[in-house]
Amino acid sequence: MTTPSVASVLDASAIDKELSDALLRQWDGACSHLGSGFCVRFQPELHALLRTAMWQFSVGSGVPTPGQAMQGLSYSAAPAGAVGSAIGPVLQPPPPRGGAPPALRRWQRAGHFLLAVALPWAWARAAHLATAPDHPERLRWWRAMQRAEGLLQLLSLLCALRMLCSARAPSLPMALLGMHLVQTATTRYAADFEFMNQEVRKRA
């Protein structure tokens, strides 16, 4: 169990984002058969349902996401190489090098669900209500939400800069909850020379 490289974390995040976007597009296409009015009205709830399923198959079950699994990464309650992790009044040493990383604690999983699933749903629902034409304080709510989004983007930027130095918490929820990524397996990709041979023959 070692500290992952920045490249591995970035590759895993890119793969997971592409997979998430693809699933979201397919989900919207499937929900469109229920009617455009229904989808527009309940879009925050429909997206929250998909995010809940994705969360359950990763953090909720304590297993890495597909992108993290491809890069040999796993979730851990403590950073790699930590001296110890405090659980209540007891100081428990980390697992031996190469062993299984400390499992995520229940409060970390619950907090991640609130920050990664419940909060985006509440924010999207509030945005729908704030942009309604008949809302009495629509402009006031919209300005307040814009300021809050700016603050959130600033915190996300600081988290990204921190990730470039430590490569442990690639997202703001993980950084706030003390969740870390550790390298538990080394991925090696065999070079495919067939394509290069074809290019050489074309140019010969």
In a domain, 197, yes or no: no
Domain limits for position 110: 6-82+89-188
Which run of H or E residues covers position 26? helix 6-31
In a domain, 196, yes or no: no
**Amino acid 90: pLDDT:** 39
What is the SS3 assignment for 90? Answer: strand
The CA dihedral of 125, 131, 134, 140, to the nearest 10 degrees, is 100
In a domain, 11, yes or no: yes
- Residue 159 pLDDT more than 80? yes
Overall average pLDDT of the 145-167 stretch: 85
- Residue 40 pLDDT more than 90? no
**Amino acid 117: pLDDT:** 94
In a domain, 71, yes or no: yes
In a domain, 127, yes or no: yes
In a domain, 60, yes or no: yes
State pLDDT tens for residues 110-155. 999 999 999 999 988 888 777 666 666 677 777 888 888 889 889 8
**What is the spatial distance between Cα 5 and Cα 163, in angstroms, rounded to a whole number?**
10
**Amino acid 51: pLDDT:** 93
Comparing C-alpha atoms, which of 47, 49, 56 is closest to residue 127?
A: 47
What's the total number of domains in the chain? 1
Amino acid at site 104? L
Within 13 Å of residue 193, how many CA atoms lie on the same side as its CB?
0
Identify any residues that bridge with 181 across adjacent strands, giving them in sequence order.
75
What is the SS3 assignment for 146? Answer: helix
**What is the spatial distance between Cα 165 and Cα 35, in angstroms, rounded to a whole number?**
47
**What is the spatial distance between Cα 57 and Cα 162, in angstroms, rounded to a whole number?**
27
**Amino acid 135: pLDDT:** 63
Overall average pLDDT of the 20-39 stretch: 88
State pLDDT tens for residues 47-102. 999 999 999 999 999 899 999 999 989 888 877 655 344 344 434 444 444 556 78
In a domain, 173, yes or no: yes
